[in-house]
Amino acid sequence: MDTNIAPNVGDIRDEDLRLRVLRGFEQANRVDKKIPSNLSVERGQYVAAQNDGSVAAVTATPAKSFLVFRGTEGFDHNATGAVTVFQHSTSLIYKTNNYVDASYNVGDKMVAVLDNGSAKLRKAADDTEEAVAVSEVAEVGDGFLVLELL
């Protein structure tokens, strides 16, 4: 076996539905935010904004949150102690399967909440929650949502 060839560990055509940016990546506002050392987050999850400019775990109560682009699993976090998030981007359209299982419609505003130990999206329940919405549903697919970041 040639040791200079990387092993095939999966089908590269498989879609990573944690987060797949469909449009607007070039104009997206990506920012590094400090994160507590005991918090682990992955691409496509959500973190709550803090007053000091850092981020923390989301809770069961919706609050201002950011979509994680590069989480704690990568080199960037190991070097800086920060995660990279999308912060209020214009026209960022993304596809994800990271949401609470429920019925959704185009135009629904989505908030980040803690669900079974993981940060996921769910439909905003009222005007107060809509004020801290992360995304809006653009398409409802079979096992995924296409969302526009707010």
pLDDT at 2 over 80: no
- pLDDT tens readout for residues 98-120: 999 999 999 999 999 999 888 99
Q: Which residues contact 30 (CB under 8 A, 6 or more apart)?
A: 69, 84, 85, 86, 87
Q: Where are the domains of the chain?
A: 20-149
- With a threshold of 0.75, does the pTM exceed it? yes
Rounded distance between C-alpha atoms, residue 144 and residue 146, angstroms: 7
Residue 48 has pLDDT above 60, yes or no: yes
Residues 6+ apart with CB under 8 A from 62: 111, 112, 113, 124, 129, 132
